[in-house]
Chain A
Amino acid sequence: MMLRLIATAALLAITLASLPAMATERLRLGIPANGPVEELRRQWQPLADYLTRSLTGHRLELAVLDQEEMRAALNSNSLDFLLGGPIDLIKQRENSVMTSVLATLVRSENGTPVPVFGGAIVRRKERTDIRQLSDLSGKRIVATGQEYLGSYAASLREIKDAGIPPESLHIRYLGQPFSRVVDAVLDGEADVGLIRTGLIEEMERTGKLPLDRLEVINRQGFTGFPFSASTRLYPEYPFIALTHTDPTVVRQITIALLSLKPDDTAARAAGIHGFNPPADYLPVEQALRELRLRPYESAPLVRWEDIWQRYQNLIVFAGLAGGAILLLLFNLSLRNGQLLAARRDSEAANRELARERGMLKTLIQTLPDLVWLKDPQGIYLTCNAALEYFFGAREAEIIGKTDYDFVSREQADFFRRHDQEAAAANAPKKNEEWVTYARDGRRVLLETVKVPMYDGDGKLLGVLGVSRDITERRRTQEELERHRYHLEDLIENRTRQLEIVCDEALAANRAKSAFLANMSHEIRTPLNAITGMVHMMRRNGLPTEQLERLDKIDRAGQHLLGVINNVLDLSKIEAEKLALDEIEFPLASLFANVNSMLSDRAAAKGLALRISSDLPQLRVIGDLTRLQQSLLNYTANAIKFTEAGEVTLGCSILKESGPELLLRFEVSDTGIGIEAAQVERLFSAFEQADTSTTRKYGGTGLGLAITRKLAELMGGTAGAESQPGVGSQFWFTARLHRCDPNDDVHHAPEVGGNEALTQLIAHHLGRRVLLVEDEPINQEIALELLHDAGLVVDMAENGKLAVDRCLAVNYALVLMDMQMPVMDGITATQRIREQPALQNLPIIAMTANTFAEDRQLCLTAGMNDYLGKPVEPELLYTTLLRWLPTDR
């Protein structure tokens, strides 16, 4: 009684202990009953427990089920997981969409992981008649059942692939356990048995099978697979999660499966190595499809795609053939249509031809020219009305006859000869013939074009002729000819006369230029001497009296220079030899210069010299010197003729069109004024207002004439208004270009005289220059000036010596006189420039010729700049400063 109590208590305790577990959720893992249930439970329960331990709030319950139970459980969704054969997976997948394989089983054999299995086809060892798969035909074959991969489908597949239709085999199904198949073969009940790999080895190990009794046929060569196999290998059992299972649980289970180690109790109990990530079970599916095993028992639907796949080539061929036939038929009907159309076209063409022929006939008949066609023998084939008129016969009478029947023998010969020439020439031939019209005896000049005509085969049909009456034309031509010859004679005469005159004029002109040049040089040179000497004498310190006398000489000299310049200017203008410079300068500087030059003079007379405050702020392009000259002229005059008050200079823009400006320069004064009648006379040369003013005020009377002439040269004019006793306004206009800053024009020097000297001494002290000058006095003057600037000076008396010196010595600059014996300045410069080393040597011309063309000549010869003679010291220094190279 006591024992029973204890037992009950123990049982209760156990039950109670398991109560908490029962309160958690239950999950079911199904495994197929491929052996004794108890043994399977013993093997797999540890795994279930292991998996349970990995879950929280869940318990995994093992269910070992046979086929029927399995099917029922799957249908009623009462399984959560399944560890079954690969065929179970395929079947399950066919029935529910979301069956997922969590892992693939890896069995263990002596510590070696075995993640695959296959089938083995066994025979008794003695049955050497069964060696290859082909030997299985007609043999008695046993298998456990059709729902197994390793134990059935795998082997069957190999058999089918070997060419033996499975339907032709006699297979008996023995059911569980698997060992029944082995026994049947051993007993001789069957010739061949289909089992899974590893069964034999297991049975031999457990002593259920005597060693070496059975042989595996169609052995595959696997390395690393511990069992004999007759088939290809497939992945081991899949661990499946069924559709409805909680995803969190699935994840936990998967992790636990993949973490299972071989030495774990659960693994050892089941005889497994562990689990691998899920393998690809497609080969299993393929095998089932091939064998038409469940779930692929029904014949596959034949789809259009399949037919296409199989009979692709045939279909394409048939299609192409059919297409070709259709194409030919189409072509045929097309041709037929074309033929009909062609016939219609030809009829239409004929009608058109007839029409055209009619038109052509009319055309030929109405032509005024003679048109005919003769055959190679000269017989007329056809002709037009004009020919009828010529021959005086009708076409019908002409055709069939020759020229010999209608005109004189010589004429006919003439025609015939030309016909033959034309035929032979194979090109149109033209000739002229005087003929007599039969009808009225008129003599007419005909121009005939004859052309050989060929038929379609290239045979000569005859000669076609077209003749035109050119009698009138010829007459007119001849008359014109006569006139022309006469005219040419006339022209030739005239030309000869003109040439003579022209030569004379040119000669005269050249003489005049030469005269002017010479005069200029002849006069200026001594003047240069005078003023130069005066300058030097003045510097060397003299008693006051001498200084005053020197001043007078200087002034006289300056005056003389002014007169000469004016005379020369005027004669130059008369000879139209004056060319205007084009210098860019600010308008303001023009006035500033004039102001600075004359301010002393004005101040000396107690006059105010003003510049208008509204001067246009412009830069212009024009002849600065000439403008200055004119303005100076007016201003000097204004000062001269004004006793008290002021002189004002101004400028305004009269007209503006684009860059061109018409400027008006004006000088007004509060001077003695001029009678209105006399204003005009002022501007003509050699006239003075009246001789009394000359004596009182001096002057040559040339200045205003020159100013007007200069203004006219500059596209303007000059004039004046005056009120006697009140004052005068002298003005001139000029056309100037507004300066575009991009214009590349000679810039006026901007540094004033004395400043130039200072800078020369500062920057160029001791530099060596060459002075080329033949006149001893001019030499002296120039030398002094150059020495004052601190330069070292070498001398050359002519161009040749200058060239030699330049080759020998490295000069900073050369001052070159123009007119010298032996070799003049131009030639010397050219020679110097021939030397590559002397390309950049600054050469300054000192020229008495101030004509613009001479200046241009200097520049063309290769000179860099020019100085007029007599040399102004300030200008010399500015020019030197400009051209002496700044780098040493």
Chain B
Amino acid sequence: MLPSCAQSGPLNVASHVWPGYELIFLARSLGWLPSDTVRLIETTSATRSLAALADGRVDAAALTLDEMLLARSQGIALQAVLVFNTSAGADAVLSRPDIREPSQLRGKRIGAETTALGALMLDRLLARGGLTRQDVQIENLTPDAHLTIWRTGTLDAVVTYEPQVSHLMQLGAYRLLDSRQLPDTIFDVLAVRSSMAARYDNALRVLIGAHFRALGHLRHNPQDAAYRMATRLTLPGEAALLAFRGLHLPGITQNRRILAADGRLLSVAGDLSALMLRTGLLPAADTLSSLCTNAYLPEGDGE
């Protein structure tokens, strides 16, 4: 094996708390990620992760596909090397129990991250209720603030995701809309700075391999995995597994298919780019060049 050009230090990966990203943290806690190869930098939100990418503190980040497109449009050339999960219910818009229909949100206050996914969910929500942005009050939020703000009672609805969804529903919130209504739109990926991907070839393979190993562990030792992940997911014990409801975690073979040159990620990215362009989230449609690669996935099918 040829030695790669001198890797200056470990690959720094930014990630906020999200069930799909938890597997790499599980891998870390099980000792499968040597810290001189890969360093996981915990952030509080996708916004912070994007900021870390922008000022070069990290060379990779765990992001949703639309967040990745957003970064690319801002000049950060990113390439997706792993699909953590697709969302089928884990992203949701929750409302006060008396609001049961999106149309009832007229004149109400909605909390959302106005960058990336939040805007998309908001857009869908408004469309369903036959409303425009002028018909509602948008409060700009970061996800770490969702729970606290909700408790203050100043919001009527919030665009959020697990584990906050589970928390808020325990507080009586109503699931007004979720990502099951946006099938195959929300991909969570590991995005690497394209120019650095080759330099961190080994680190990427280790990180991605660890993710799948942790996935296998979760499958066969769900309780053990649950208790380990419970800390970061802030859900007690076995309840941590509940956070994975509404997520589909593709294995190696499926990952290989999705990330292929003719795979789903590219086609979804194209549609997503168009949607985001339409809703003003992107200044121009993404060229989709070097958007993704399955070159860093492990051989075989894992088991």
A residues contacting B by CB (< 8 A) are 112-116, 118, 220-225, 232-235, 279-280, 282-283, 286
Which chain B residues border A222 with CB–CB below 8 Å? 227-228, 230, 237
Which chain B residues border A283 with CB–CB below 8 Å? 220-221, 224
Q: Kindly state the separation between the CA atoms of A113 and B237 in the bound complex, as whole angstroms.
A: 9
Q: Kindly state the separation between the CA atoms of A114 and B236 in the bound complex, as whole angstroms.
A: 11
Name 15 A/B residue pairs within 8 A (Cβ), A-sorted. A115-B223, A115-B238, A116-B224, A221-B228, A222-B230, A223-B236, A224-B230, A224-B236, A225-B227, A233-B227, A234-B223, A279-B223, A280-B220, A283-B221, A283-B224
- Is B222 an interface residue, CB under 8 A from the partner? yes
Min C-beta distance of B233 to chain A, whole Å: 9
Min C-beta distance of B33 to chain A, whole Å: 15
Min C-beta distance of B216 to chain A, whole Å: 11
Q: Kindly state the separation between the CA atoms of A112 and B238 in the bound complex, as whole angstroms.
A: 11
* Contact between chains at A221 and B224 (CB < 8 Å): no
- Is B279 an interface residue, CB under 8 A from the partner? no
Which chain A residues border B240 with CB–CB below 8 Å? 224
Which chain B residues border A224 with CB–CB below 8 Å? 227, 230, 236-240
Q: Kindly state the separation between the CA atoms of A118 and B237 in the bound complex, as whole angstroms.
A: 14
Interface contacts (Cβ under 8 Å), in number, total 56
Other-chain contact of A116, B29, B223, B231 (Cβ < 8 Å) = B223
* Contact between chains at B220 and A223 (CB < 8 Å): no
Min C-beta distance of A287 to chain B, whole Å: 10
Which chain A residues border B220 with CB–CB below 8 Å? 280, 282-283, 286
Min C-beta distance of B30 to chain A, whole Å: 9
Which of the listed residues B220, B224, B240 has the most CB atoms from chain A within 10 Å of its own CB? B224
B residues contacting A by CB (< 8 A) are 29, 220-224, 227-228, 230-231, 236-240
Tell me whether chain B's interface is mostly helix, strand or loop, or mixed: helix
Which chain A residues border B236 with CB–CB below 8 Å? 112, 223-224
Which chain A residues border B238 with CB–CB below 8 Å? 113, 115-116, 224
Given A116-B227, A233-B227, A223:B222 Cβ within 8 A: no
Which chain A residues border B223 with CB–CB below 8 Å? 115-116, 233-235, 279
Which chain B residues border A235 with CB–CB below 8 Å? 223
Which 4 residue pairs across A and B have the least CB separation, nearest first?
A224-B237, A224-B236, A223-B230, A222-B227
Which chain B residues border A232 with CB–CB below 8 Å? 221, 224
* Contact between chains at B228 and A220 (CB < 8 Å): yes
* Contact between chains at A221 and B221 (CB < 8 Å): no
Which residue of chain B lies nearest to A235 when distances are taken between CB atoms in the complex? B223
Q: Kindly state the separation between the CA atoms of A282 and B240 in the bound complex, as whole angstroms.
A: 20
Which chain B residues border A225 with CB–CB below 8 Å? 227, 237
* Contact between chains at B222 and A221 (CB < 8 Å): no
Min C-beta distance of A433 to chain B, whole Å: 78
Which chain A residues border B227 with CB–CB below 8 Å? 116, 222-225, 233
Which residue of chain B lies nearest to A229 when distances are taken between CB atoms in the complex? B227
Which chain A residues border B29 with CB–CB below 8 Å? 221
Given A116-B227, A233-B227, A223:B221 Cβ within 8 A: no
Which residue of chain A lies nearest to B231 when distances are taken between CB atoms in the complex? A223
Min C-beta distance of A370 to chain B, whole Å: 75
Min C-beta distance of A29 to chain B, whole Å: 25
Min C-beta distance of B193 to chain A, whole Å: 31
Which of the listed residues A223, A224, A233, A235 has the most CB atoms from chain B within 10 Å of its own CB? A223
Min C-beta distance of A274 to chain B, whole Å: 13
Which chain B residues border A221 with CB–CB below 8 Å? 29, 228, 231
Min C-beta distance of B37 to chain A, whole Å: 20
Q: Kindly state the separation between the CA atoms of A114 and B230 in the bound complex, as whole angstroms.
A: 14
Q: Kindly state the separation between the CA atoms of A223 and B222 in the bound complex, as whole angstroms.
A: 14
Min C-beta distance of A132 to chain B, whole Å: 12
Which chain B residues border A280 with CB–CB below 8 Å? 220, 222
Min C-beta distance of B134 to chain A, whole Å: 44
Min C-beta distance of A49 to chain B, whole Å: 29
Min C-beta distance of A798 to chain B, whole Å: 74
Which chain B residues border A286 with CB–CB below 8 Å? 220
Which of the listed residues B221, B222, B230, B240 has the most CB atoms from chain A within 10 Å of its own CB? B221
Q: Kindly state the separation between the CA atoms of A279 and B237 in the bound complex, as whole angstroms.
A: 15
Which chain A residues border B237 with CB–CB below 8 Å? 112-116, 222-225
Q: Kindly state the separation between the CA atoms of A520 and B221 in the bound complex, as whole angstroms.
A: 120
Which chain A residues border B230 with CB–CB below 8 Å? 222-224
Which chain B residues border A234 with CB–CB below 8 Å? 221, 223-224
* Contact between chains at B224 and A233 (CB < 8 Å): yes
Q: Kindly state the separation between the CA atoms of A223 and B230 in the bound complex, as whole angstroms.
A: 5
Q: Kindly state the separation between the CA atoms of A112 and B220 in the bound complex, as whole angstroms.
A: 24
